[in-house]
Structure 1
Amino acid sequence: MSIHPTAIVEDGAEIDPSVAIGPYSIIESGAVIGPGCRIESCVRIFANTRMGRDNRVCHGVTLGSEPQDLTFTPEKARPLTIGDRNHFKEGVNISCGVKSEEGTRIGSDNFWMAFSHAGHDCVVGDHNIFANTATLAGHVEVEDRTFISGQVAVHQFCRIGSLAMVAGVTGVAQDVPPYALVDGHRARMLGLNVVGLRRNGFTQEQRSRIKAVYRLLLRSGLKQAEALARAEQDYPGPETDHILNFIRSSRRGLVSFD
């Protein structure tokens, strides 16, 4: 284990012997840090944080900090659980949980650029990119392989579907469905995240199916229940199932479509 002499590691912190900890970082009692993690300078990892392997935590990051919730008291704190191979750039802040027993959950292989933030009780999947100052309010759910651009603000309880892209300086107040590209002061769906789909190996057939499903749902003039049933019948496939399940489980409704 490599621990800089200026770092503070409290008794009761569980640190794998392969972990490196840089100058002026603080690891609180109760924190768990897995193999191969690299904790750089001036990082603070709070007590309820559980981290997997091979994560990189850059200068000034705070993980598991108190949520920005006026009702919070220390006894309400719930875990922050982090998977493997995440990269947290300078100044990233992720809150611990407070409302749910599972707390805040971050998957694996996510890239958090400088000063991005996830509030309490967020659930984030795998292979997502959060650009500079992208902000998730409490209880936001992000699926897999999304791109959340700079200065995006996502309202609490919203969901971002897999392979969606949110353009910069966008306010997201409703759910963003899978594979979509959204933009606007209040996010509006502009079309499909075609570049992201191609980069992730979606075939022309798959992309055409997704496009056809959204055309039916958004432009056919059918009532939603009828359009969902038609899409399921006319365009069967895993992408269709994903879209329909996402819409049927939406609590806040979807972003509007131009």
Structure 2
Amino acid sequence: MIHATAIVDPKAELDSSVTVGPYTVIGAGVRIGAGTSVGPHCVIEGPTTVGRDNKIFQFASLGAAPQDKKYAGEPTQLIVGDRNTIREFCTMNRGTVQDDGITALGDDNWIMAYVHLAHDCKVGNRVIMANNAQLAGHVHVGDWAILGGFTAVHQFVHIGAHSMTGLGSILFQDLPPFIMAAGNTAEARSFNLEGLKRRGFTPEQLNAVKQMYRLLYRRGLTVDQAQIEMAGLQASHPEARDTIQLMLDFLKTATRGIIR
């Protein structure tokens, strides 16, 4: 299952079902779970943990040292979950001790060619990142988010669950859940109606998201005023309490301000 031209360090741990393509290099401290395939000409450096049933295409670089001038060789990590597709020329760096030391990619993500995850990024589950989407250090991406091609995200920005960016978007501030944004610099355009329908959101949940979008972007309210109004929506939309709470929790923890 390991091509004769691949180089696998004796201190790497690969499940017996892992396949490794020609000329790939896997270093010490790398652990790869069952069913994962690693294509040709990849480099995976440790400490890195890769879960089960991932498909890593040719020329990917995972687990390299962070591109941070403060990095001094500390034993930080990259952790990749299960069932991810990682396409050609993707780069994912380990974390730094200035954060929690971990760069993490969750489960069931679709990561297209030339995507970059910088140090200390946290990407959730079922995220789609189109070609050349680029995350600077310490960026967090929520579940089900979709980043359009050539999206660039400033360090420490948080991107909410079920949000979406258009082609070539530049994000300097946090993007709330459910919101669609585009432009340089990115501005809110609408809410992700079609995506939410496909994920089974009920009419009441969709109506709550629509109301929250209007409060944030159409009523001329401050973010604090919008949050007060959103809290009131939970009483009138009991089936959407969790949906509304997701937005409220995000707004309470936003540190860079939100895209308006």
Matches within 5 A, 1:180-191: 180-191=179-190
Report the counterpart of residue 155 of structure 1 in structure 2: 154
Matches within 5 A, 1:17-28: 17-28=16-27
Report the counterpart of residue 81 of structure 1 in structure 2: 79
Q: Secondary structure at the match of 1:3?
A: coil
Does the 8 Å CA contact 2:94/2:101 hold for their aligned counterparts? no
Does the 8 Å CA contact 1:78/1:100 hold for their aligned counterparts? no
Per-residue CA deviations over 1:97-138 (Å, capped at 9, x if unaligned) read 113334101100011100011000000100000100100000
Does the 8 Å CA contact 1:213/1:235 hold for their aligned counterparts? no
Q: 2:247 aligns with which of 230, 243, 249?
A: 243
Deviation, structure 1 residue 205: 1.7
CA distance in 1 between counterparts of 2:143 and 2:249 reads: 15
Amino acid at match of 2:34: P
Matches within 5 A, 1:128-143: 128-143=127-142
Runs of 4+ in 1 over 6 A off after TM superposition: none
Does the 8 Å CA contact 1:84/1:108 hold for their aligned counterparts? yes
TM-score, normalised to structure 2, is 0.94
Per-residue CA deviations over 1:195-240 (Å, capped at 9, x if unaligned) read 2111111122211111112212333344433331221123441111
Amino acid at match of 1:91: F
Q: Structure 1: where are the runs of 5+ without partners?
A: none
CA distance in 2 between counterparts of 1:216 and 1:166 reads: 20
Does the 8 Å CA contact 2:208/2:233 hold for their aligned counterparts? no
The CA RMSD over aligned residues, in Å, is: 1.2
TM-score, normalised to structure 1, is 0.95
Does 2:254 align with 1:255?
A: no
Per-residue CA deviations over 1:142-176 (Å, capped at 9, x if unaligned) read 01011101111000000110110100101000000
Per-residue CA deviations over 1:37-78 (Å, capped at 9, x if unaligned) read 10110011101110110011100001111222122222x241
Percent identity (aligned): 38
